[in-house]
Structure 1
Amino acid sequence: MKYVIGVDLGTSSVKTLLVSKDGEIKGEATASYPLIQERPSYSEQNPEEWVNGTVACLKELLQTSGVSAEDIEGVSFSGQMHGLVLLDEQNRVLRNAILWNDTRTTKECREIEQKLGGKLLDITRNAALEGFTLPKILWVQKHEPELFAKAASFVLPKDYLRYRMTGRVEMEISDAAGTLLLNVPEGKWSDEIASAFGLPEGFCPPLVGSTEGTGTLLPEFAALTGLSPATKVFGGGADNACGAVGAGIVRKGDALCSVGTSGVVLTYEEDKSKDFAGKVHFFNHAHPGAFYAMGVTLAAGYSLSWFRDALAPGVGFSELLQNVGEIAPGSEGLLFTPYLVGERTPHADSVIRGSFIGLSGTHRRDHLARAVMEGITFSLQESFDLFRQAGITVDRVISIGGGAKNPVWLQMQADIFGKPVVSLKNEQGPAMGAAMMAAVGSGWFGSLKECADQFIGYGATYEPIPENVEKYARLFKLYQQVYEATRSLNEGLQEFRG
């Protein structure tokens, strides 16, 4: 039996998955590493931590699985997006990586908008947000000019890890789409944007595809892990692209709903002319020539965690939610907006904060808990509504993450989205998507679509209940009014916040 490895390089840990040719998981290993947060709004990591964690995981996979290194054909990657790793001419790291959740770059975002105007959306199809890479590059350029003068190129987190494994400095295209330096429709770097900000020639590394071969393991890296130097290495993908592949979102009509700390809705698209005016993200997909549109709710699962920790400390989620199914849709006239840390889609607003609207003396904890679940799902529905307005048809939604672990929430999603919602039998997320890219790259399958048919098993399907769909449609219209109704109030409250 032959095997591949998927490496998911996350923000807090790296997860590795060993998968056989028939799609069975034969081993997994995880290693955590710290964030560096020296000041408010700063979030950095030492790239060496990624390498050390990955080496430890790969060694553990071999030791615990009993699989021979010679039977492992390939390895590929999923990676946290947008993180800036600056390299000098010898490909040495110049400073800690600035991560996606670092928000120090608001001024740089405004500078990008002022300099590029409408060209930004025409070229990149995405608005300038603090999480993206170009604002981070400009921040270093402005605040650390002596260091930036030494910079010869930049890569993203998983691409740096791949460089350490192969010795090749390249960037994979689905991740490059989140830099604000890529011409997304054309799938190539934008010389116009790079020159507008004085970036040196060759600063953007060569692009590779997700299933494209990028060489084999360096002998010294193979020796550290126990893997064979003949192990093939493939491009991989951005974490959201890999999560989509790992959930089987590789065909038109399928969409993903993922509820983690944040929430993501994502749909497969092949028409590069789609234009959402920057209200949702539009990135190159891992599948060659395809794209995905993506909306983000900043505080999805986090809203439920906050509710539990603030109002029911010490109570487990199963106990907290055990009675929400007995509460009728609408939580007896109670709405919740999950803007606890601001919002991303469709309101790119760092000042807005959450609300309970309609709270009365008859409401109990179960009502509030259901309202929080409904509010999170309404926020995700705002992205689906934007997809609909852009002419994208969604036939079914694959649900993963925390929202997929609760049958009441799965039914709620079906009713609010008005679409069938499907769970997965064995959810492995981006690590499985990365393994699938290695499987396709190794020649086991002709495409990610063929691989998905073999590797992914679907669980229960939740069909929309017509009367609930109708009720939630009316509630959704009320939900959409809350943002504008509370926006100025939150602006006034900002001076009182700690």
Structure 2
Amino acid sequence: MSYVIGIDLGTSAVKALLVDRNGTVAAEASRSYPLFHEHTGWSEQRSDDWVDASVEALRELTSTAGIEASAIEGISFSGQMHGLVLLDGEGNPVRNAILWNDTRTTEQCREIERTLGDKLLSVTRNPALEGFTLPKILWVRQYEPEAFVQAKLFLLPKDYLRYRLTGQLHMDYSDAAGTLMLDVAGKEWSGEVLEAFALPASFCPPLIESHGLVGTVLPQIAERTGLPATTKVFAGGADNACGAIGSGILSEGLTLCSIGTSGVILSYENDKTKDFAGKVHFFNHGKQDSFYAMGVTLAAGYSLSWFKKTFAPNESFDQMLDGVGKVKPGAGGLLFTPYLVGERTPHADSAIRASFIGVDGSHERIHFARAVMEGITFSLNESVDMFRRAGKTVDTIISIGGGAQNPVWLQMQADIFNATVVALENEQGPGLGAAMLAAYGSGWFDSLESCADKFVKHADSYSPQPEAAAAYEGIFKIYQQVYEQTRGLNEALAPYRG
């Protein structure tokens, strides 16, 4: 049996999966690394911590009992998006990496908007948000000029890891799309954007497809990890793109719902001219010449975790939700908006806060729990609704994460989204997507789709119930009014928050 490895470089840990030709995960290994928050809103990591942790994880996989390291044919990567790694002329980092969840760059975002105007959306296809990479570059230039003078090239997190394993500098299109420097439709670094901010073309690494071969592991890395020096290394992709691949989101009509701490609705797109006016993200996919649109709910699973911590701290989630399926759609006229930490899609608003609307004396805790689950799903449905209004077909949704662990919630998603919702047998998300890119790049399959047919295994399927779907259609219209009705109130309350 031969194998590939998918490496998922996350924010808190790296996870490596050893996957065989049947798509079975034969072994996995994980290593964590620290985050640094030197000031409020700052979030940084040491780039070489990623390398050390990944080498350790790879060493664990190659020493797995019963596995011959020589049977490992290829490696690919999934990585946290947007993080800035600046390299000097010797290829060494000039400072810590600034991560996707760092919020220090509001001033630079406004500068980008003023400078690029309409070109921001027409070229990069995304609004200027603090998490993106270009604002971070401008911040370093403004506030750390000594470091910026040393910087000759930038990379994103997984690209730095791959560079240290291979000695080769590249960036794939799906990750480059999150920098605000890529012409997303044209698939090239934007000369207009680089010129507008006086950045030389040499500041950007060569672009490559996600399944593209970049080389083999360096001899010293082979020695440290136990990998054969002939192990092929493929570019990989952004975590959301790889999560889509690992869930089989590879054709029109397929959409991903991922409910973790935050929530994501991600839909496959093959029309590069599709215009969402910046209301949702529009990025290059890990599948060649494809794209995806994506909306984000900031406090998805977090809203339910907050509810449990506050109102059921000594119960399990199953205990807290026992009986939630007996509550009819609409939670007895109780509505929740999951704006605990602000919102992203379709309202990029850091000041808005959550609400329970319609509370009366007949409501019990189970009604509130049902309302929280519905409110999270309504927020995600904002993205589904926008996709449909833009002409997209959304008829099948693959659901992963916490929302896929509860049958009642899966049925609720089917009813609110008014689409067939499918759970997966074995969720491995971005790590499996990275392994699939290595399998496809290694020639195991003639396409990512045929790889998905083998690797991605569907479990239960949920169809919308006509009566519930009709009820939710009306409630959703009410939900959509709550943001505007409460925005001014939340702004007025802001000075009183701790």
TM range (shorter): over 0.9
Match of 2:373 in 1: 373
Match of 1:71 in 2: 71
Counterpart AA for 2:234: F
Q: Shift of the alpha carbon at 1:24? A: 1.4
Match of 1:233 in 2: 233
Equivalences for 1:102-117 in 2 at 5 Å?
102-117=102-117
Match of 2:425 in 1: 425
Match of 1:55 in 2: 55
Query: What per-residue deviation string (whole Å, max 9, x for no partner) do you get for residues 382-413 of structure 1?
Result: 00011011111012000000000000000000
RMSD: 0.8
Residue 131 of structure 2 corresponds to residue 142 of structure 1: no
Counterpart AA for 2:432: M
Separation of aligned partners in 1, 2:27 and 2:494: 48
Match of 2:357 in 1: 357
Match of 1:416 in 2: 416
Q: Shift of the alpha carbon at 1:201? A: 3.5
Separation of aligned partners in 2, 1:439 and 1:20: 9
Q: Shift of the alpha carbon at 1:314? A: 2.5
Contact 2:79-2:158 at 8 Å conserved across structures: yes
Match of 1:168 in 2: 168
Q: Which runs of 5+ in 2 are unaligned?
A: none
Match of 1:199 in 2: 199
Match of 2:221 in 1: 221
Q: Shift of the alpha carbon at 1:200? A: 2.9
Q: SS in structure 2 opposite 1:202?
A: helix
Separation of aligned partners in 1, 2:327 and 2:35: 40
Contact 1:27-1:65 at 8 Å conserved across structures: no
Query: What per-residue deviation string (whole Å, max 9, x for no partner) do you get for residues 421-440 of structure 1?
Result: 00001111100000000000
Residue 480 of structure 2 corresponds to residue 480 of structure 1: yes
Query: What per-residue deviation string (whole Å, max 9, x for no partner) do you get for residues 436-455 of structure 1?
Result: 00000000011110100011
The runs of at least 4 aligned residues of structure 1 exceeding 3 Å deviation read none
Query: What per-residue deviation string (whole Å, max 9, x for no partner) do you get for residues 76-113 of structure 1?
Result: 00000000011111110011111101111111111100
Residue 146 of structure 2 corresponds to residue 118 of structure 1: no
Q: Shift of the alpha carbon at 1:65? A: 4.2
Counterpart AA for 1:398: I
Match of 2:8 in 1: 8
Match of 2:44 in 1: 44
Query: What per-residue deviation string (whole Å, max 9, x for no partner) do you get for residues 188-209 of structure 1?
Result: 1001101111113300110111
Separation of aligned partners in 2, 1:86 and 1:319: 48
Contact 2:191-2:201 at 8 Å conserved across structures: no
Counterpart AA for 2:408: V
Separation of aligned partners in 2, 1:286 and 1:246: 11
Separation of aligned partners in 1, 2:364 and 2:223: 59
Q: SS in structure 2 opposite 1:332?
A: coil
Separation of aligned partners in 2, 1:448 and 1:229: 26
Q: SS in structure 1 opposite 2:276?
A: coil
Residue 96 of structure 2 corresponds to residue 86 of structure 1: no
Query: What per-residue deviation string (whole Å, max 9, x for no partner) do you get for residues 333-372 of structure 1?
Result: 1111111111110001111111111112221111111111
Q: Which moved more, 1:285-294 or 1:190-199?
A: 190-199
Residue 185 of structure 2 corresponds to residue 185 of structure 1: yes
Contact 2:249-2:268 at 8 Å conserved across structures: yes
Separation of aligned partners in 2, 1:294 and 1:4: 28
Separation of aligned partners in 2, 1:363 and 1:403: 24
Match of 1:21 in 2: 21
Report how many residues are paired: 498
Separation of aligned partners in 1, 2:379 and 2:3: 40
Equivalences for 1:319-334 in 2 at 5 Å?
319-334=319-334
Q: Which runs of 5+ in 1 are unaligned?
A: none
Counterpart AA for 1:52: D
Length-normalised TM-score, structure 1: 0.99
Separation of aligned partners in 2, 1:35 and 1:243: 23
Separation of aligned partners in 2, 1:367 and 1:472: 16
Match of 1:101 in 2: 101
Match of 1:315 in 2: 315
Q: Shift of the alpha carbon at 1:121? A: 0.2
Match of 2:133 in 1: 133
Q: Shift of the alpha carbon at 1:68? A: 1.1
Counterpart AA for 2:431: A
Match of 2:449 in 1: 449
Q: Shift of the alpha carbon at 1:64? A: 2.4
Length-normalised TM-score, structure 2: 0.99
Contact 2:63-2:69 at 8 Å conserved across structures: no
Counterpart AA for 1:292: Y
Contact 1:152-1:200 at 8 Å conserved across structures: no
Percent pairwise identity:
64
Q: SS in structure 2 opposite 1:492?
A: helix
Counterpart AA for 1:113: E
Separation of aligned partners in 2, 1:31 and 1:372: 33
